[in-house]
Structure formats: structure tokens, C-alpha cells
Amino acid sequence: MLDHHGIEEISLGDFVLTGGEIAAQAILDATVRLLPGVLGNAASTVEESFSDGLLEHPQFTRPAVWEGLEIPAVLQSGNHAEIAKWRRAQAEALTEVRRPDLWAAKNGKLPDGT
């Protein structure tokens, strides 16, 4: 039936929902946010999860210490090159642990590691 009408089938992931409404909202949100003017800052889409095949690095905000958790010193250093290296290392580590499929693809391997 889908082929007859030229409809492209897509998947949001390996899970089952109670209906199509939530999936439709997710697809709309993921698409509309790419339109010019939808996001407050167009550069927001450049450095986020999946923009480079990796999950996004951890995000921090003020205060510098919250409930005993400190913002890493490198992020407070003002050294943009070191901050970029830290962010990249964090993104790689998170992707390797949480999404081995993405990590394998990023490294030119098949999901089974070959």
C-alpha cells in the first residue's frame, strides 16, 4: 500500500508507541527546527548531537559549583582550543559508551565491529 502511493516509511527507533501522534510531532519538530528563523540562533544546529556523527558533549551553566558538582576548569579557562579538544573528547567518550552503533559508523566499522 505504501509503495502504491509513493509514501516513504521512516522509523524513529526501535520502540513501539500507542499511536502515531507522538511520532508525527517528533518528525515535525526535527524538520521545522531546520527552517530559517525557527531557532533563536541559526548556529545552534551546527554543534549538537549527531551534527558530526557523535552525541553532544555535556552542557554546563552557572553557578560554577552546584550541589558539589563543578564546571570543569578547562571550560572556565578561556582557552578555546583546549575547550574544543575537551568537548570533542567528551562527545567521543559518550558516543562510544551510549551509542556503540554511531561510534562504529564514525570509525568506518560495521555495527558488529568488523
Domain that holds residue 111: 47-114
Q: Is 105 exposed, middle or buried (0-12, 13-18, 19+ CB in 10 A)?
A: middle
Q: Are residues 113 and 62 in the same domain?
A: yes
Which residue from 90, 74, 72 is spatially nearest to 82, judged by alpha carbons? 74
Task: Specify whether 63 is located in the same domain as 31.
Answer: no
Closest to 44 (Cα-Cα) out of 35, 22, 64: 35
Q: Would the pTM count as exceeding 0.75?
A: no
C-alpha cell at 72: 570543569
What pLDDT band is residue 111 in, cutting at 50, 70 and 90?
low
Mean pLDDT in residue range 76-88? 96
Q: What is the pLDDT of residues 24-33, one digit of tens each?
A: 999 999 899 8
Write the CATH number for 54.
Answer: 1.10.1270.20
Question: Residue 9: its pLDDT value, please?
Answer: 85
Within 10 A of 95 (CB to CB), how many other CB atoms are there? 24
Is residue 81 domain-shared with residue 100, that is, in the same domain?
yes
Confidence at residue 71, expressed as pLDDT on a 0 to 100 scale: 96
Average confidence score pLDDT of the chain: 88
When pLDDT is cut at 50, 70 and 90, the band that residue 113 belongs to is: low
- Residue 103 has what pLDDT? 93
Q: What is the DSSP string of 20-78?
A: HHHHHHHHHHHHHTTSTTTSS-GGGGTSSTTTTSSPPPP---SSSEETTEE--HHHHS-
